[in-house]
Amino acid sequence: MTDEPADNDIPGASRRTFLKGGAALGAGALAGAAARAESPDPLITEVQDWATSFGEAVDATPYGMPIHFESHVVRRNVEWLTESPVSSINFTPIHALEGTITPQGCAFERHHSGAIELSKADYRLMINGLVDRPLVFTFEDLMRFPRASLVAFCECAANGGMEWGGAQLEGCQFTQGMIHNMEYVGVPLRLLLAEAGVQPEGKWIYAEGADASSNGRSIPMEKAMDDVMVAFYANGEALRKEHGYPARLVVPGWEGNMWVKWLRRIGVYDQAVESREETSKYTDLMPDGRARKWTWVMDAKSVITSPSPQAPVRHGKGPLVITGLAWSGHGKVARVDVSLDGGRNWQEARITGEAKPKALTRFHLDIDWDGSELLLQSRAVDETGYVQPTKDALRAIRGLNNVYHNNGIQTWWLKPDGEVENVEVA
């Protein structure tokens, strides 16, 4: 099995410690089973309704949805956070997900003038500016170019932004859920740029969306020629409407606002456009009142998704699975540490599955919880050696004027009753 926990690689809890936990569970389950020998659990010993009747037929759900028991695992927004739901954001229910892939159906979405409906027949992509051959592509034209694939996280620059001022929002979904991770397929942008012929003075591109907001961002030519993609598919199928159908830009490792949806134009210029979305917005207002711009890359970050305020511990003490996500816009996650005591002591978590560059990475730590309160933290280290900082370390440099690029360490207070609260530690 790929990446399964080997007998001796459960970090943080030695084999002996875990077996102790496991044995405790086993003894419990065994006691239960023994009890059931005299007082059997009818859910396993008796024939149930679902074993004596037909279930749903194969033609009942041409396209399936989650079972109703999971109806709480949905995107949610915070009404007071933005002025209008057509220029707003919602949040991925990361507290209830596992693994690394985010289903499109519950992946956060941000738009500035609503999610538009744009057919492939009506779709056009223009490349103009400092090019030898200005071009207009139909969707079918784009489908004739060689395709690439990659898995990448997309994180809003404002993810965790409310945390600059302290623990303000309850719920892992609301504090850190402006992120998703999908497998994309599309055309490398550099193939389209080569088709148009970028002139030597062309040092920047400007990517613009077809929606009313005309969300547009400048991207240096080096990045545009590196790993930027015009994507048509996410997680195997067409992009959903709210994710930019039929084509969006994928800008691996860089802030989500640059992943222009409903992409309609790539302009090639000798300088940045300095649009609204990269001047009055998506710049970092520093303590001295100046705005720091071109902070495109999302630095290494991690968050424990369970236990967390929306994912309390209901089973009491004993074996407890701690899990979370880590990522870095600079490459692969090299290591994730977890603290149970608010950052005083750290132990290395297990990376479960592959750590891909610029993609979400899943980590686990299996502990034997004694039932006392814990201050849970996680800390990502990426392959460049960068270590995720504390919120206070970030505040010391960036102050409190800013809502963007908060990759500070998040703390969850796990209480003896199993409830979890968003807190800060000094």
Interface with a second copy in residues 132-161 (CB under 8 A): 133-137, 140-141, 143-151
Only one of the segments 92-100, 158-166, 339-347, 386-394 lies at the binding site for a second copy (rule: CB under 8 A); that segment is 92-100
Task: Out of 170, 203, 238, 342, point to the residue binding a second copy (CB under 8 A).
Answer: 238
Q: Considering the complex, state which of residue 31 and residue 400 has its C-beta at the smaller distance from a second copy.
A: 31
CB of 282 to a second copy, least distance (A): 18
What b/e readout covers 165-196, taking b as 16+ CB neighbours within 10 angstroms?
eebebebbbbbbbbbbbbbbbbbbbbebbebb
- Residue 16 binds a second copy (CB under 8 A): no
Rounded Cα distance, 21 and 370, in Å: 10
| Pair 253, 152: CB distance under 8 Å | yes
Q: Considering the complex, state which of residue 226 and residue 392 has its C-beta at the smaller distance from a second copy.
A: 226
Rounded Cα distance, 86 and 34, in Å: 58
Q: Considering the complex, state which of residue 349 and residue 409 has its C-beta at the smaller distance from a second copy.
A: 349
What b/e readout covers 280-298, taking b as 16+ CB neighbours within 10 angstroms?
eebbbbeeeeeeeeebbeb
Q: Considering the complex, state which of residue 245 and residue 327 has its C-beta at the smaller distance from a second copy.
A: 245
Q: Considering the complex, state which of residue 99 and residue 287 has its C-beta at the smaller distance from a second copy.
A: 99
Residue with tokens 């991690």: 302
- Residue 383 binds a second copy (CB under 8 A): no
Q: Three-state DSSP class for 204? A: strand
CA distances 398 to 159, 194, 281, 392, Å, are 16, 40, 16, 10
Q: Considering the complex, state which of residue 215 and residue 339 has its C-beta at the smaller distance from a second copy.
A: 215
Neighbours of 273 (CB within 10 A): 18
For the record, the structure tokens of 340 come out as: 């149970």
CB of 11 to a second copy, least distance (A): 11
Considering only residues 46 to 65 of the shown chain, the ones binding a second copy according to CB under 8 A are 48, 50-65
CB of 131 to a second copy, least distance (A): 10
Considering only residues 196 to 235 of the shown chain, the ones binding a second copy according to CB under 8 A are 210-212, 214, 226-229, 232-233, 235
- Residue 237 binds a second copy (CB under 8 A): yes
Task: Out of 14, 15, 99, 287, point to the residue binding a second copy (CB under 8 A).
Answer: 99
Q: Considering the complex, state which of residue 4 and residue 288 has its C-beta at the smaller distance from a second copy.
A: 4
CA distances 259 to 62, 137, 211, Å, are 31, 19, 14
Cβ contacts of 340 within 8 Å, gap of 6 or more: 347, 367, 374, 375, 376
Considering only residues 343 to 372 of the shown chain, the ones binding a second copy according to CB under 8 A are 352-353, 356-357, 362, 364, 366
- Residue 69 binds a second copy (CB under 8 A): yes
- One-letter amino acid identity for 137? F
- One-letter amino acid identity for 49? D
Only one of the segments 168-176, 240-248, 268-276, 294-302 lies at the binding site for a second copy (rule: CB under 8 A); that segment is 240-248
- Residue 70 binds a second copy (CB under 8 A): yes
Considering only residues 261 to 280 of the shown chain, the ones binding a second copy according to CB under 8 A are 262, 264-265
DSSP lists the bridge partners of residue 266 as 127, 207
